[in-house]
Amino acid sequence: MKHDAVWLNLRLCAGGDVDDTLDDAAIAVEAGQIAWLGARAELPARFAALPRHDLAGRWVTPGLIDCHTHLVYGGQRADEFALRLAGASYEDIARAGGGIVSSVRATRAASEDELFAQAAGRLKPLLAEGVCAIEIKSGYGLDLASEAKMLRVARRLGQAYDLTVRTTFLGAHALPPEYAGRADDYIELVCSDMLPALAAEGLVDAVDVFCEKIGFSLAQTERVFAAAQALGLPVKVHSEQLSNLGGTALAARYQALSADHLEFLDEAGVIAMREAGTVAVLLPGAYYFIRETQLPPMALLRQHGVPMAIATDSNPGTSPATSLLLMLNMACTLFRLTVREALLGVTQHAARALGLQATHGQLAVGRRADFVAWDVTTLAELAYWLGRNPAYQIVRGGLIQPESKPA
């Protein structure tokens, strides 16, 4: 199918930078890619015969990118949330068979079709807010068959919704029950069996590790990074969320795409990120949900010029979020980001966190035609509203999506 049309009478923020915009612009799309964009008065005559869509002066930005999610898993953990509110500790819940073990149990028990249906329900609100690219991690299977099942579902979601999906293998997310007390043996399984098999199936775009005292040590994390590097796969890391273990600096030595969470990151880690070109992915949903009080080192990240992305961290235990727009507000209110930083964090910088900076996160000739028209008078509204979705028209691959509002 040819995706050829012109969108005109729009206010353009082509790079996701609120300080770089163009009034009365137009976008021409051919074969699902941007063929031209600029001032409407300069629209080339060769596009005159294409179908036209008048956006009546609405703002247009690149499609949004959610660069850190755990969208595929079985069940949910709302009852555990209620127990915590009633005074139960995490240890109490874990001893009763809850926590991540309950998500692993539900994920292993679910069929691929069941996981797809559950994940699709979580994906649809994100699509309705203009998310056009997303990262989906594994990590709730913790055995080869279940991790493969999760990653296949992630691929299916991309195909079903014409959505760019980057899959990340997070086998080193937690220790499965059958490996209790044998973390090194499990990491050997991850490196020698699981990762090579999943990569051979073409299911892995990047490799992640939860490097933390309750996760995996620096030495274990490095074993996974080395195995990924040997397979030519980029790495990412969950690090410095609960303590300063040094996982971020280690990941930077492996030229990590991103380091995520970062509440306890120090200046040495920030400098390592800058030198490696590693993106800082901030996850305000998890910060809020677990009632963290230690803020990420925003001043240091700014001082050293480390790009900052924002994501939902959508997961059943610490961030059951299905709204990236809400994360914009949280990033601004909790982390004190500016509107400019926040919007760049779900466009340009989020694309870089996924290794997609050449194709996503900005609108330019030759790039995939993923963009959103917004019913707002100022782009600050994207980070302002709580519970209101101002997306008017969502375009992925040059096609107006069913999530768009009726004309």
388 assigned binding-site residue: no
- Across 190-210, b (16+ Cβ under 10 Å) vs e yields bbeebbeebbeeebbbbbbbb
Question: Which residues, 6+ apart, have CB-to-CB distance to 117 below 8 Å?
Answer: none
Q: Is 70 annotated as a binding residue?
A: yes
Residue 313, annotated as binding a ligand? yes
Decide: 318 and 286 in contact? Cβ < 8 Å: yes
Q: Please, what sign has the CA dihedral across residues 308, 391, 121, 199?
A: negative
Cβ pair 274, 307 in contact under 8 A: no
318 is in an annotated binding site: yes
Query: CA 120, CA 108: separation in Å to the nearest integer?
Result: 18
**Structure tokens of 288?**
């809020």
Q: Do residues 32 and 398 lie in contact, with contact meaning Cβ atoms separated by under 8 Å?
A: yes
Residue type, 180: A
Q: Flag whether 360 is marked binding.
A: no
**Distance between CA atoms of residues 90 and 69, nearest Å:** 22
Has 9 been labeled as part of a binding site? Answer: no
173 is in an annotated binding site: yes
169 alpha-carbon distance from chain centroid: 14
Binding residues for Fe(3+): 68, 70, 238, 313
Binding residues: 68, 70, 77, 140, 173, 238, 241, 313, 315, 317-318
Binding residues for 4-imidazolone-5-propanoate: 77, 140, 173, 241, 318
